[in-house]
Amino acid sequence: MLKLPGLIDPHVHVREPGQTHKEDWDSVTQAALAGGVTMILAMPNTKPPIFDKATLNLALDAAKQKARCDYAQFLGAGPDNADKVAALANKAAGLKMYLDSTFGELRLDDMTLWMPHFEKFPKDFPIVLHSESRTMAAGILFAAIYDRPVHIAHVSLKEEILLIKAAKEKGIKVTCEVCPHHLFLTKPSRAERSGSEVEAGGRAEVRPRLATKEDVDALWQNMDVIDCFATDHAPHTLKEKDSENPPPGFPGLETLLPLLLTAVDDGPFGAAQGRLLTIDDVIQKSVINPRKIFKLPEQPETWIEVDEAAEYEIKAADQFTRCGWTPFEGWKVKGKVRKVVLRGKTAFEDGKILVKQGYGRNVRQ
């Protein structure tokens, strides 16, 4: 049995308020615990989005009643709420800015709208950027100009990880996260068919999109540049994913650890030349670094126990997420979460959730 600290997932779409048919604070925190995650940071692109005191309270009230693991809630940057969100900073996980194609209403296209947020949001809390490619480069320039930390969400491209590496070498305050689906899946292409490709169509839709094998290899090769693993758990129902207009997003809380542990065991994904992933990397990038970057408290008497030798197939039917599917259906993995102890209480054991709704704590309170 492998004993690890409880994992922290800094990027989770809870869907409550507003879209509880996809997920809510109850189901998402059950999925988290089943995945060995004891703390989640919730994204603000709900319905309504979380962008002021009233909407923050909507999310936090629901979380207080329903959450079974610990949490904090992000605020969303809008065109005219820089003063409001700055005043709420100590009640939130941080500020999220959507600068590129996404799901929901929180998108800031014009760079003049970024400026007040970079000026006003307290520098001891990170601004998280959903920014891809050249927009990401602009975001890093903003971090340099305003001399403040930014955290780049879900890095997926070679050009992105290389630019972040260069920016870090210059001392710019940039950190980043990578999602398992960008480490283990590539975009569908006829030229390079392999088992890792997700079939084209609704289910493959995700932002950032799945990238090429070359991009995936670059992420593995630059494992040292990656500060955090984050799931970007973005549940949409199977019916929605298979519809005419499929929303982007994958669930990920319950597949994060088995995928990583399988990679620890098998070496880098595919034919990548990256260095081996170690258990220490998993602890560093899923516990220590997120805690440091987002200034999160330690969770006393909290750990998870994993059966390293357990081999099994990932099945949506075994998951707690409400969305009813996983892009990793049928994948053979090694490493099963057996037990989760959260603040002294067994919260999950042998497939069963053992703590009640409301056990989870807001770590910003």
Alpha helix ranges (H) inside 132-278:
134-146, 158-169, 180-184, 213-221, 238-241, 256-266
CB of 198 to ligand NCD, least distance (A): 13
Q: Taking the CA of residue 155 as centre, how many other CA atoms within 13 Å lie in the half-sphere pointing to its CB?
A: 30
Q: Name the residue nearer to ligand NCD (CB basis): 4 or 150.
A: 150
Report which DSSP code applies to 139.
Answer: H
Q: Does 18 bind ligand NCD (CB under 6 A)?
A: no
48 interacts with, out of ligand NCD, Zn ion, none, CB within 5 to 8 A per kind: none
Interatomic CA distance for residues 49 and 292, integer angstroms: 26
Residues 6+ apart with CB under 8 A from 192: 186, 212, 213
- 103 interface partner picked from Zn ion, ligand NCD, none, CB below 5 to 8 A per type: ligand NCD
Q: Of residues 76, 149, 180, 249, which one binds ligand NCD by CB under 6 A?
A: 249
Closer residue to ligand NCD, CB minimum distance, 102 or 186: 102
By a kind-dependent CB cut-off of 5 to 8 A, residue 35 interacts, out of Zn ion, ligand NCD, none, with none
SS3 169: helix
3-state SS of the chain: helix, strand, coil percent to 5?
35, 20, 45
234 touches ligand NCD by CB under 6 A: yes
The region of 26-34, 110-118, 243-251, 314-322 touching ligand NCD under the rule CB under 6 A is: 243-251
Q: Which is nearer to ligand NCD, 149 or 235 (CB)?
A: 235
Between 161 and 304, CB nearer to ligand NCD: 161
Nearer to ligand NCD, 228 or 337 (CB): 228
| 256 contacts ligand NCD (rule: CB under 6 A) | no
Binding partner at 327 among Zn ion, ligand NCD, none, C-beta below 5 to 8 Å by kind: none
Closer Cβ to ligand NCD, 17 or 249, answer by number? 249
3-state class of 297 per DSSP? coil
Q: How far apart are the first and last CA of the chain?
A: 34
Report if residue 207 touches ligand NCD, rule: CB under 6 A. Answer: yes
Q: Which of residues 97-156 bind Zn ion (CB under 5 A)?
A: none
102 touches, from Zn ion, ligand NCD, none (C-beta below 5 to 8 Å by class): ligand NCD
Please, is 338 exposed, middle or buried when counting C-beta atoms within 10 Å of its C-beta (0-12, 13-18, 19+)? middle
User: Could you tell me the two tokens for 260?
Assistant: 């990583």
Q: What's the closest the beta carbon of residue 217 comes to ligand NCD, in angstroms?
A: 22
Are 112 and 145 in contact by the 8 Å Cβ rule? The answer is no
95-98 vs 127-130, strand pairing mode:
parallel
Return the residue of 164, 206, 261, 333 that touches ligand NCD, per CB under 6 A. Answer: 206
Binding-residue pattern over the window 128 to 167 for ligand NCD, x denoting contact by CB under 6 A: --x-------------------------------------
Look up residue 283 and give its two tokens: 């602890």
* Nearest one of 206, 203, 217, 107 to 157, comparing CA atoms: 217
If one asks whether residue 232 binds Zn ion (CB under 5 A), the answer comes out as yes
Question: CB of 184 within 8 A of CB of 158?
Answer: no
Residues 50-109 contacting ligand NCD, CB under 6 A = 102-104
Interacting residues toward ligand NCD by CB under 6 A:
13, 45, 102-104, 130, 206-207, 232, 234, 247-249
